[in-house]
Amino acid sequence: MLCGLALIVVGIMVQVSLNKTLKITDPTASAAPIILIGVGVVIFFISFFGCCGAFKENHCMVTTFAVLLSLIVIVEIAAAIVGYVFRNKLSTIVHDSVTEMISKYEKGTPEFKETVDNLQHNLKCCGVNGSSDWKNFTSKGNSVPDSCCKNVTKGCGIGTMTDSDKVYQQSCSAAMETFLKNNILWVIVAAVVIAILQLLGIVFACCLIKGIRDGYEVM
């Protein structure tokens, strides 16, 4: 039950991060968090079979719990394989999302601009592929938003597009991709822990099934 709740919370956090904090709107990017939420909900409700079955020592309910949890583990393994196969699509999704954010910056709402500025400042980057992506930011074509500056002050981005001492030159596409890949490690660790707990749940359920069956035979 706790594993189910954990997956739901993680799925919601990832979805909110992709669509609000990072502004990634590609539908395929939402597949992973939606799967996490769905699996979490299913595991949460499946756990009731285990709880009720263990409490009432009901052979059928505990067996149902073990079978359904085994199916969930198989689905998770299949999802992990699919994620590994399509891992290279991450670069395309990130690049397209950052490009869209930069292109909409000028006409964006204050909240949207703040999101882009925070992204550049926090990841220490500027533009999709570099600071030159902001060439249309002003009429002179040599300025960038202040959030590109290493030391942010009012107007620090004016006329400093190619000044590597004052403005970050790293592309936000590469910076965001690195950020996501680094955080995937924690997702993998969490997935391994949850998988181990699920396997233990299956083993304990099988032991309980055997104990209940032996009890019936004695009676």
∠153-155-158 over CA atoms, to 5°? 130
**Cα 73 from Cα 159, distance rounded (Å):** 56
Q: What pLDDT tens digit does each residue of the chain (219 aa) get?
A: 888 888 788 778 777 766 655 555 555 555 667 777 888 888 888 888 788 888 888 888 888 888 888 888 887 777 777 767 766 676 777 778 788 888 888 888 888 888 889 888 888 999 888 888 898 888 888 899 999 999 988 889 898 998 889 999 999 888 888 877 777 767 777 777 888 888 888 898 888 888 887 765 544
Q: How far apart are the first and last CA of the chain?
A: 32
Three-class secondary structure of residue 12 per DSSP: helix
The pTM score is 0.61
What lies within 8 Å, CB to CB, of 25 at 6+ separation is 19, 97, 100
Instruction: Fill in the amino acid letter for 17.
Output: S
